[in-house]
Amino acid sequence: MTRFARAKWIWVENNSIPDTYGEFYDDFIWNEGVVNCLLSCDSDYTLFVNGTFVASNQYGDYEWYKVYDTIDITKYLQKGKNAIAVLVWHFGMDSQRYLKADAGLIFEVQANDKVLLASSENTRARYSKAYKHSLQKLITSQLGFSFCYDATQEDAWTISGDGFHATVTVDKKCTFVKRPIKKLELFERVQGTIIHAEDNHYIIDLGKEVVGLPALKFSSPVQQKILVAWGEDLQDGHVRRIIHNRDFSFEYIAKSGSNDYVNYMLRLGCRYLEVYTEKPIDHIDMSIIPQVYPVKERQVKLANALDQKIYDISVYTLKMCMMEHYVDTPWREQCLYVYDSRNQVLFGYQAFEDGNAQYVRANLKLISQDRREDGLLSICYPCGVDLTIPSFTLYYFMQVNEYLQYTGDMTLAQEVYDKLISILNVFIGNRKNGLVLRFEGDNYWNFYDWSPHLSGTLRQKEEAIPDLMVNLLFVFALKNLQEIDEKSGKKFSYEDLLQESKRRIKETFYCPETGLYSMTEGGDEYTVLGNSLAILAGLTSKKESEIICEKMVNGELCDCSLSMKIFKYDALLATDKAKWQEWILGEIRREYGKMLDAGSTTVWETADGAVAFGNAGSLCHGWSAVPIYFYCREKFR
């Protein structure tokens, strides 16, 4: 049946005001048959049928790649008249996980090849009474808005449209795409332990890192304002709520008596909840409803008990970083980055049955929909912020090729091939004397790693000079494109460019006196990451590789962060597997054992843990689940 054949885009009024909540009500008659509700919105939704929660969460998308959900609502229906209600949260402000568009909702209820109900001017609407409008309180610049909910304003709007008015139609021109992955699943509430309750101040320990929906249940003697903060750890008896301009909290105005509230649209990633009240509260059940993408884990049994624990927390981290797409961290950002997701996808091939191929494909397809004016990929997807990491754009070639290698599915490479060529041409156009230059401008972040000499300068203009990293990654992009072309029967047209690039890198950055590659021409910035990539790119002889590896393990080079050690370990194994295998295992055990010793149930963004980045370090970061990749190799079992 045709999707949205009769439905129209609607909103509460003609204006799209940032950070607002629209409530929509309609009803229809049903007597038999399976009933599906097709629904899409800007920006997020919660669907109720006959007053019961059914589903939530819009897939992050673009107007030209607008995803709709197909939701079976049959079990919520009764014969005769049925009420359908939708709460829509319109973000309306660009961020690293949302591209601003007009507010809107479109839905259609279908059964037996008939449309039972479609959104139109006859649908009734109002702005929510309980949610504070246009609060625009940021959690982080990446994550977007927090909220304030006033329980004293609650009414029965999900079962009655009394007091609502007619909607207005919205002129949104979208190209619809069916949700390409499964919906996330909800599980039983994780009810934490109250570890502190004194002076109207409560701390709840959930026992482990949990990702899901905040759920509040308690009794209040009076109407009062409550502040709920969340975090991954405790410092000086508190969660890290305020970190520079970040604020990990929301407000809830309690009504006198029993309170029971769930926010189905804002996911939290945390281990601790911290609650501040004006008056004492009773019967406290502050919890998280886990919301998890359904995957089937492969059974991996390791002989060493420590290795097994490290593997298990790495897989758990990977699962906590899966929403509508892979996210870097569920606590601080919830963003899809190319490099972060490259690691997560690669580890998922090992950890999950069928490599989780459907989910991976959807991630890579979403990235390809980005339309940045300069031809590079934006920093995240979808993204409304004018910022890019050029090196991450180059990793996209690696992602697409690895997907082809692990799944054998040629169709994705065919669909995004023109995008790859377009990206390649941008880098070719930024070359001088046979080398790619750093990109110039404060909207280009020449970042390679969170390690010395490689972190770049965010929002600051850098000199347009060639460096080792961008040129090595350009070589990798060409090599990955070459493999894609070979598998698809295409002629690879860049062989001369590939060979010239490899030659110019060695001429410019290799120092025969030290046997190492420097970050800049004539410089002494010798990094583990740069030299590892030089080995893997085929720029070194066997003897040169051996010298580099010895210097790496002896600490003579600036080491890379956890997420980049996949290249370090690959370079060591490629050079001398028998010699370096146990050394790699030893380093993994030391660095990840430290996390276990600290009581962590997930793997950290960097080895520094929470104190990194001015005390903003994430303790659940998918890109660091590197041990999965190595433990799943037969030689490590």
DSSP letters along 300-358, please?
---SSHHHHHHHHHHHHHHHHTBSSSB-S-TTTT----HHHHHHHHHHHHHHBGGGGHH
What SS3 string covers 80-135?
Answer: EEEEEEEEEEECCCCECCECCCCCEEEEEEEECCEEEEECCCCCEEEECCCECCCC
Give the model's pLDDT for residue 296.
Answer: 96
First to last CA, the chain: 51
d(CA 49, CA 552): 61
Single-letter amino acid code for the residue at 441: G
**Paired residues of 53 in beta bridges:** 48
Say if residue 198 is in the same domain as residue 220. yes
CB atoms within 10 A of CB 522: 8
Say if residue 428 is in the same domain as residue 524. yes
Give the model's pLDDT for residue 633.
Answer: 76
Say if residue 369 is in the same domain as residue 442. yes
Say if residue 387 is in the same domain as residue 501. yes
**C-beta separation of 68 from 177 below 8 A:** yes
Say if residue 38 is in the same domain as residue 124. yes
- DSSP H or E segment with residue 362: helix 357-368
Q: How far is CA 184 from CA 22, 80, 179, 272, 628, in A?
A: 23, 30, 12, 22, 23
Give the model's pLDDT for residue 634.
Answer: 53
Q: What are φ and ψ of residue 153, in 5° steps?
A: -100, 5
Domain boundary among 229, 260, 292: 292
Low-confidence spans in the chain with pLDDT less than 70: 634-637
Residue 309 domain flag? no
Say if residue 162 is in the same domain as residue 205. no
Residue 308 domain flag? no
pLDDT in tens, 263-294: 999 999 999 999 999 999 999 999 999 999 99
d(CA 584, CA 591): 11
Say if residue 412 is in the same domain as residue 532. yes
Domain boundary among 578, 600, 627: 578
Give the model's pLDDT for residue 216.
Answer: 98
Structural domain count, the chain: 3
Residue 389 domain flag? yes
Give the model's pLDDT for residue 636.
Answer: 52
* Alpha-carbon radius of gyration of the chain: 26
Domain boundary among 578, 597, 618: 578
In terms of Cβ atoms closer than 10 Å to its own Cβ (0-12, 13-18, 19+), residue 24 is: buried
Residue 460 domain flag? yes
Whole-prediction pTM: 0.97
Residue 636 domain flag? no
- DSSP H or E segment with residue 207: strand 201-220
Residue 333 domain flag? no
Query: Quick one: tokens of 305?
Result: 């008990």
Read off the CATH number of the domain in which 243 is found. Answer: 2.60.120.260
Say if residue 344 is in the same domain as residue 383. yes
Query: Quick one: tokens of 624?
Result: 């660091």
Read off the CATH number of the domain in which 377 is found. Answer: 1.50.10.10
Say if residue 168 is in the same domain as residue 222. no
Say if residue 88 is in the same domain as residue 229. no
Residue 227 domain flag? yes
Say if residue 352 is in the same domain as residue 270. no
User: Which range of residues forms the domain containing residue 398?
Assistant: 339-578
Give the model's pLDDT for residue 91.
Answer: 98
Say if residue 189 is in the same domain as residue 168. no
Residue 628 domain flag? no
